[in-house]
Amino acid sequence: MPGGNLLTDKKIILGISGGIAAYKVADWVRKLRREGAGVQVVMTGDATRFVTPLTFAALSGRKVYEGMFDPNDVERIPHISLAAEADLILIAPATAQTIARLASGMADDLPAALVLAHQSPVIICPAMNCNMYLHPATQANLDRLKTYGYRIVEPGRGSLACDTEGPGRLADWSYAKEAIYAALTKQNLADRKVLVTAGPTHEPLDPVRYLGNRSSGRMGFALAVTARRRGAEVTLVTGPSELPDPPEINVIRISSAEEMAAEVLERCQDMDVIVKAAAVSDFRPAEYSAGKLKKAGAGFTMNLTENPDILKTLGERKGKSPLPLLVGFAAESGDFINEGRRKLREKNLDLLAINDITSKEAGFGVETNRITLLNRHGDQEKIPLLSKEDTADLIWKRVADLLAQ
Ligand code: CTP
């Protein structure tokens, strides 16, 4: 399948400082390698007391560096040579001591010296006791690190190894992963407000039954995640989906088309881009029964009424104004391009992704998609089979081009 992972062949330095969360990042090494990255581990002396370098050497497949100078390899000065090769430096866990060291620009251990010598993005994942984390000194140090352009992956809340409750747990991998991807992605949606809709809608018939469809929400969630990676502020309005809330995204969960319409129309004025990837039910039961419908041995006829077409309403409201830029999806089973052109025109869209729902590799429930894009200038682009994430990222590329025009 075409479309390479962003981390393929990237060199990531993982700097580990001396906190108990050091054991958690052993698993991050495997995850990074599975994404295609090469991982070079460097450790502070204290870190090696929590987890042995041998563990990280085995997981990374490379020698682990601990000291500023290697007596067995005097030709190589690790903090210079490793920094020059790195695409990104990830400090995890970052203890209060390491954060203070980095904030004051000290170079008295290998991870800190590397950060000073580097020219690649730096990501810091704090983990410590909650009082230490909340202390004004640590907060001031973190603020200072932000001014250096480092990304801080906020720690999670919960019970800590030191038997206290509060912020200080090493962030979950999904947060660190998104920070890494964002650091390596062109921020061409920075300062843009983006709204994405996802998933099916459920149209209630009675307290236990509804009319729905097989949308999993994957395409919409992938669009939300990839927009965030490009720097956008993202709101995701989703119908019922089993997918968890993605990191750093404002997720609004709704059930019916009318609820989706209310949430979207309330926010549309503030947005730069709206992408409607949701499989909105075109119809809902004309009547809702407050009690459970009982069988009467004579079959059952249900009257349906049409739902509001949210995207069409957005297109009508937009008129001739350039923003918000409107992107739609068209689920088609035949006469794709003509149907697509009709929807683009009738809904006043800037970009439309046409899905062949008869294909086994595209559409509902699968990880891949194959779309054709139509834009407001009449251009047509056939996109090869890609993962939904790569498809989503490509849509944002085209959106960024349209925004730049
Ligand atoms: N859409 C919407 N509100 C609806 C129905 C659809 O906002 N009530 C949006 C979808 O999110 C999608 C686009 O309109 O972005 C096209 O949806 P699709 O189901 O392909 O087309 P319809 O306009 O419903 O037309 P038809 O089902 O007749 O093909």
| Domain ranges, ordered by start, for the chain | 11-183, 193-286+303-404
Rounded percentage of the chain residues whose pLDDT exceeds 70 = 99
Is residue 343 in contact with ligand 1, taking CB distance under 6 Å? yes
330 Cα: distance to centroid of ligand 1 (angstroms): 7
Q: 329 pLDDT band (50/70/90 cuts)?
A: very high
CB 333 within 8 A of CB 357: yes
Segment (H or E) for 328: strand 325-332
For ligand 1, say whether the CB of 65 is within 6 Å of any of its atoms: no
For 193-286+303-404, CATH gives 3.40.50.10300
- Cα distance between residue 32 and residue 179, in whole Å: 13
Give every CB contact of residue 155 below 8 A, 6+ residues apart in sequence. 125, 126, 127, 128, 133, 167, 168, 169, 170, 171
184, 87 Cβ separation under 8 angstroms: yes
Q: What is the model's pLDDT at position 158? A: 86
Average pLDDT over residues 104-111: 96
Determine the pLDDT at residue 163. Answer: 82
Residue 353 Cβ contacting ligand 1 at under 6 Å: no
Q: Comparing 78 with 226, which gets the higher pLDDT? A: 226
Cβ atoms of 102 and 112 within 8 Å: the answer is: yes
pLDDT at 115 over 60: yes
Does 193-286+303-404 match 11-183 at the fold level? yes
CA 37/CA 5 separation, integer angstroms:
9
Ligand 1 atom at minimum distance from 306 CA: 8
What is the chain's alpha carbon radius of gyration, rounded to the nearest angstrom? 25
Q: What is the pLDDT of residue 261?
A: 98
Q: Is the link from the previous residue into 240 a cis peptide, with omega within 30 of 0?
A: no
HEC secondary structure over 271-283: CCEEEECCECCCE
Residue 159: which pLDDT band, with cuts at 50, 70 and 90? Answer: confident
Q: Say how many Å lie between the CA of residue 384 and the centre of ligand 1.
A: 23
Catalytic residue list contains 162 = yes
Ligand 1 pocket residue status of 258, Cβ below 6 Å: no
The protein residue whose alpha carbon is closest to atom 12 in ligand 1 is 329
- Cβ of 280 closer than 6 Å to ligand 1, yes or no, is yes
Task: Please indicate whether residue 278, judged by its CB atom, sits closer than 6 Å to ligand 1.
Answer: yes
Residue ID of nearest Cα to ligand 1 atom 3: 309
Peptide bond into 324 cis (omega under 30): yes
Which pLDDT belongs to residue 4?
A: 54
d(CA 260, CA 256): 6
Q: Which one of 213, 280, 355 would you pick to mutate in the ligand 1 pocket, going by the greatest count of ligand atoms within 8 A of its CB?
A: 280
3-state secondary structure of 68: coil
Mean pLDDT in residue range 333-352: 95
What is the reported pLDDT for 296? Answer: 84
Averaged pLDDT score across all residues of the chain: 94
Q: How far apart are CA 236 and CA 271, in angstroms?
A: 12
Q: Is 325 a residue whose pLDDT tops 90?
A: yes
Helix axes 96-103, 110-117, angle to 10 degrees: 40
Convert the pLDDT of each residue in 22-42 to its tens digit: 999 999 999 999 999 999 999
**Residue 11 tokens, joined:** 């060199």
Give the per-residue pLDDT at 2.
42
Residue of 125, 130, 162, 268 marked catalytic: 162
CA of residue 61 to ligand 1 center, whole Å = 50
Site to substitute for ligand 1 among 195, 254, 325, 329, most atoms within 8 A of C-beta: 329
Bridge partners (DSSP) of residue 330 are 354
pLDDT digits (tens, 9 = 90+) for 386-403: 999 999 999 999 999 999
Q: What is the pLDDT of residue 1?
A: 44
Query: Residue 170 in contact with residue 94, Cβ under 8 Å?
Result: no
Query: Which residue is closest in CA terms to ligand 1's atom 18?
Result: 330
Cα separation values, 386 from 105, 174, 394, Å? 43, 22, 10
- Number of neighbours of residue 213 by Cβ within 10 angstroms: 16
Q: Would you call 154 helix, strand, or coil by DSSP?
A: coil
- What secondary structure letter does DSSP report for 295? P
d(CA 263, CA 257): 10
Q: What is the pTM of this model?
A: 0.94
Mutation pick for ligand 1 pocket among 197, 282, 317, 373 (CB with most ligand atoms within 8 Å): 282
Identify the architecture of domain 11-183 in CATH. Answer: 3-Layer(aba) Sandwich (3.40)
Query: Which of 92, 62, 86 is CA-nearest to residue 10?
Result: 86
CA angle 195, 201, 204 (to 5 degrees): 140
Residues 164-196 pLDDT 10s: 889 999 999 999 999 999 999 999 999 999 999
Q: pLDDT tens digits, residue range 270-279?
A: 999 999 999 9
User: Per residue in 249-277, pLDDT tens?
Assistant: 999 999 999 999 999 999 999 999 999 99
Task: Kindly state the percentage of the chain with pLDDT values over 90.
Answer: 86
Enumerate residues 6+ apart whose C-beta is below 8 A from 335: none
Decide: 7 and 37 in contact? Cβ < 8 Å.
Answer: yes
Average pLDDT, integer, range 228-237: 98
pLDDT of amino acid 356:
83
Mean pLDDT of 199-227: 97
pLDDT band at 307 (very low <50, low <70, confident <90, very high): very high
